[in-house]
Each structure stands twice: as C-alpha cells, then as structure tokens.
Amino acid sequence: MSRFTLYSIPVVISLILILFPVINPGTINVNADACGEYCECKHQCSEIIANNALVQIPAQPMNTWSNIAFLVVGLMALRRRKGPAARWFAISCTVLCLGSAAFHSFLTVAGQRWDVIGMFFVFNFLAVYAMFVMHESAKNKEHELRWFRIAVLLSAIVSVVMAIFVVDLDSTKVLAIASAFIIGHLILAVLEKTATLKEVLLVLSPFAVAFTFRQLDVNGTLCDPASWFQGHALWHVFAAWGIYEIYKLLDVIRHER
C-alpha cells in the first residue's frame, strides 16, 4: 500500500463523518451533555438544547480550528523522517484532528466517539512506539519491524473497538494507562542513558501547560464563552506540541543514539 493510500484512508473516513451532517442537517443529533462541557459558546447551550439545532457551525469555532495543530505536527513528523513510525504518527494525528474538529463543530455523540478514537490512536501508538524503540535490538531488525507494525495495527483496532463498543468507557483512565506506559519507557531511556532527565522533563512540559489550560476551562476559572481566547483551544495546541515532542525524542533515540 502506498504512503498516499495509507494516509488518505482516515482522512476520507473522517471527512465523510464530518461532512455528512452538513449535507444532511437532519442527522445532527446534538448531545446535550456535550454542550456546556467546555467554556466556548456555553451561553448558547440552552437555545441549542431547546431546539436540538446548532446556533452556528462550527458550534465552538476556536475549539474546532485549534485542532489544525494536530495536523501540523503529523505533517512535521512526515517531513522529519520517512518510515512506518512517521506514517502511523501522522495518521493518528489526522484522525485526532478531524475527530476533535467534528466533535467541537457539531457536538454530537458520533463526533465525540471519533474524538476519543483519535486520542486513543495517538496515545496507544506512542506507547507501542516507546516500547519498540526501547527494546529494539541490532539483530533481527526485520522481524521486530514486522512485530511493530502488527502491534500498531492491533492498538488501532483495540482503540476503535473500545471507543465505539465499550459503554461508559472512562477515556481518561485509558489515556492515563497509555501515558504511564510512555513515561515509564522515557524513564527507562534516562536510566539507560539514551536520553537525559532534562530532555524528558522538557518533552513532558507542554502537557503540564496543556492540562492546566484544560482544567481552568472546564472548571470555569478561565472562561468567557464569547471570547476568541479559549483555554480548551490552548489545550489542543499544547497537547499537539507535547505529543510531537515525545515522538521526536523517541525518533532521536532510535536513529541518532
């Protein structure tokens, strides 16, 4: 399968998912719980819920457009180095970009699921990649690369199944487990002296900023529903930066050390 074909599959599926409600507005089934979860355009929620119709599309403009950051970091990875890892990272980032944009645009249950699939894709991929990079040996490279491809594919399938079929799934717990796995392997890199503690802390710092903005938005501390400045939008940007930094450090460990 060519790189273009592989990359275009999630793009096409995501676009169908995003464009379907636009072509057929009757299919928009606004998720009442999703409106008001984040600060942006909260003041329009009672109107949206009463009429089961969005006041505007995208429903949350800044929270929608800020997802471009995920697309940008995916493309940066492709530009940095060719290979299966860069492709899978870019695909995961694209799914997350489009899924999150679909969710914040339409506030539907389907959009929310797609958003969760995107997050699982990215974090599960980074967990598998971290494991691959830290345990890759000089001999038997072909065999290990095959194992890596199968593991990534399996993690993608598990991500989709979990996000779609597991009712009342606590996505935060899944992401916490994947994050613990990633951080565990970064600590291993420090112990094995393939990365420094300073590098690992720098790589993780965008997440600290991202998480702070996310929480300030959710709990209403930093909230003006009509403003262009949205904490949740900054969560997207800093989280995108963070996942790219993790990917880049793993790439450097694998190819340059």
How many of the chain's residues bind Zn ion (CB under 5 A)? 1
Q: How far is the CB of 121 from Zn ion (least distance, A)?
A: 15
Structure tokens at 199: 């590098």
Report how far apart the first and last C-alpha atoms of the chain are (Å, whole number): 30
Is the separation of the CB atoms in 129 and 93 below 8 Å?
no
- Shorter beta-carbon distance to Zn ion: residue 44 or 171: 171
Site string for Zn ion, 168-197 (x = CB under 5 A): ------------------------------
Tell me 168's DSSP state: T
Residues numbered 85 to 114 that lie near Zn ion (CB under 5 A) are 100
Q: How far is the CB of 234 from Zn ion (least distance, A)?
A: 11
- Shorter beta-carbon distance to Zn ion: residue 185 or 232: 232
The length of the chain in residues reads 257
- Burial of residue 127 (number of CB atoms within 10 Å: 0-12, 13-18, 19+): buried
Distances (CA, A) of 156 to 64, 130, 232: 24, 15, 26
- Shorter beta-carbon distance to Zn ion: residue 100 or 105: 100
- Shorter beta-carbon distance to Zn ion: residue 148 or 238: 238
Q: How far is the CB of 241 from Zn ion (least distance, A)?
A: 15
- Burial of residue 218 (number of CB atoms within 10 Å: 0-12, 13-18, 19+): middle
DSSP characters over 4-23 = HHHHHHHHHHHHHHHHHHHH
Q: How far is the CB of 232 from Zn ion (least distance, A)?
A: 6
Is the separation of the CB atoms in 59 and 48 below 8 Å?
yes
Radius of gyration of the chain, Cα coordinates, nearest whole angstrom: 19
Q: How far is the CB of 101 from Zn ion (least distance, A)?
A: 9
- Shorter beta-carbon distance to Zn ion: residue 155 or 230: 230
Q: How far is the CB of 63 from Zn ion (least distance, A)?
A: 6
Q: How far is the CB of 236 from Zn ion (least distance, A)?
A: 6
* Residue number, nearest CB to Zn ion: 100
227 Cβ partners below 8 Å, 6+ apart? none
- Shorter beta-carbon distance to Zn ion: residue 100 or 171: 100
* Distance from C-alpha of 9 to C-alpha of 55, rounded to nearest angstrom: 31
- Shorter beta-carbon distance to Zn ion: residue 62 or 78: 62
* Distance from C-alpha of 117 to C-alpha of 111, rounded to nearest angstrom: 10
Binding stretches for Zn ion (CB under 5 A): 100
